Amino acid sequence: MKKDYDKYVNAKGLRCPHPLLQLKLAIKQAKKGEIVLLEATDPHTDLDIEVWSQRFHHTIINTKCNEDSYKFWIRK
């Protein structure tokens, strides 16, 4: 099975602003066009990621929420 991301960030258990900080580091290390999958449990992560992605011109290509975590696929 082929994975649908290039880098994975496990931010489960971290509270704001740490999931975003982890994502910023991964995006900085990613090449243009690569996809970073962020998995977090903080319910406020979605707004942080949306605003940050728009501001820095990254694309949220998919999101998935369940009762345990939130996943965001972001293209640099």
Can you give the residue ranges of every domain in the chain? 7-75
Do the strands 35-40 and 59-65 form a parallel or antiparallel pair, or are they unpaired?
Answer: unpaired
State the DSSP H helix or E strand holding residue 49, giving kind and residue range, or none if neither.
helix 45-55
Marked catalytic residue, from 16, 34, 44, 71: 16
So what's the pLDDT on residue 27?
Answer: 97
Architecture of the CATH domain 7-75: 2-Layer Sandwich (3.30)
Ranges of beta strands (E only) in the chain are 7-11, 35-40, 59-65, 70-75
So what's the pLDDT on residue 76?
Answer: 97
Model confidence at 1: pLDDT above 70 = no
16 is a catalytic site residue: yes
So what's the pLDDT on residue 67?
Answer: 86
Please tell me the pTM assigned to this model. 0.92
Q: 53 near 75, Cβ under 8 Å? A: no
